[in-house]
Structure 1
């Protein structure tokens, strides 16, 4: 049991940290990333919620991208979300976020993601991403996620967010 866990941990580290075991000059190409997500405003038929005004919400998208070619790939992302309100902070949701990646050129990427949240909501998230700094072993990006959510006896919502992070 422990040996299996160690093997899985080593495999995960190899995938995420993009070691030389995988040649990155050919495909499939595997990359990992970590970011910080700030939802800016959420709109529904009942209300508009603005982050930073009455509460503070932040998410930490962490994922693995598997590029099939230079144009298309698959991504799996997990996003723990933390909310602080009235002096109390807690992790209020975990988002499972698989999707398709489409390279648009000049450092731009579109991610079309399905969304499954532990709070009972589900939906889609189109994400527009731009690599702003590219180094030999990493790159820095900014992104605009546009989540649409349904379910759990709440009205449909549309959110505009801002994300930044590092890919390696």
Structure 2
């Protein structure tokens, strides 16, 4: 082969390599804002107040069913809005006893951990904040499974302030 032909072939291979690498890199980039949704189940475990300690499963069982949407501004920070109907079951009946509106900010902490700083507005007349620590435990192509520890603090409605701990698990997509 002549030197000119070798240079053309080499330039063509080099150009093809650069362009294909750029295309592959662009295919793996996430574009923002990124919208994700999730559903889950939350079990309040215990709450503390000046009136005493209340544990779930003792006299009644309370379960929440959170439904939410996350809007990630970047890979580090986002906004979340969640609605959680709570069902209370006793030995004689069961009913939706509260609905929680739960907007907040998301901060990615790395290694699948996320912090959610949420405001809390309940139909029971209570309000407050809920710091939530979340961990993705299994990530698939179409969805992720997560666990979370919410730490609710509630005030108002002529009741004692309460502080609690819960356990949540769910799926995001």
> Does the TM-score normalized on the shorter chain lie above 0.5?
yes
Which residue of structure 2 aligns with residue 55 of structure 1?
A: 60
Deviation at 1:47, TM superposition (A): 1.3
Superposition RMSD in Å: 0.8
Secondary structure of the structure 1 residue equivalent to 2:63: strand
Deviation at 1:25, TM superposition (A): 1.9
| Structure 1 residues not aligned, in runs of 5+ | 1-23
TM-score, with structure 2 as normaliser: 0.83
Asked if 1:155 corresponds to 2:160, the answer is yes
Secondary structure of the structure 2 residue equivalent to 1:120: coil
Which residue of structure 1 aligns with residue 170 of structure 2?
A: 165
- Tell which structure's C-alpha radius of gyration is larger: 2
TM-score, with structure 1 as normaliser: 0.85
How far apart are the structure 1 equivalents of 2:63 and 2:170?
13
How many residue pairs match? The answer is 145
Asked if 1:131 corresponds to 2:136, the answer is yes
How far apart are the structure 1 equivalents of 2:85 and 2:65?
6
Please list the CA deviations of residues 124-144 of structure 1 after superposition, one character each: whole Å capped at 9, or x if unmatched. Answer: 000000000000010000000
Which residue of structure 2 aligns with residue 14 of structure 1?
A: none
Q: Which has the higher helix share?
A: 2
Secondary structure of the structure 2 residue equivalent to 1:136: coil
How far apart are the structure 1 equivalents of 2:71 and 2:48?
33
| Structure 2 residues not aligned, in runs of 5+ | 1-28
How far apart are the structure 2 equivalents of 1:43 and 1:83?
18
Asked if 1:93 corresponds to 2:98, the answer is yes
How far apart are the structure 2 equivalents of 1:85 and 1:48?
18
Deviation at 1:86, TM superposition (A): 3.0
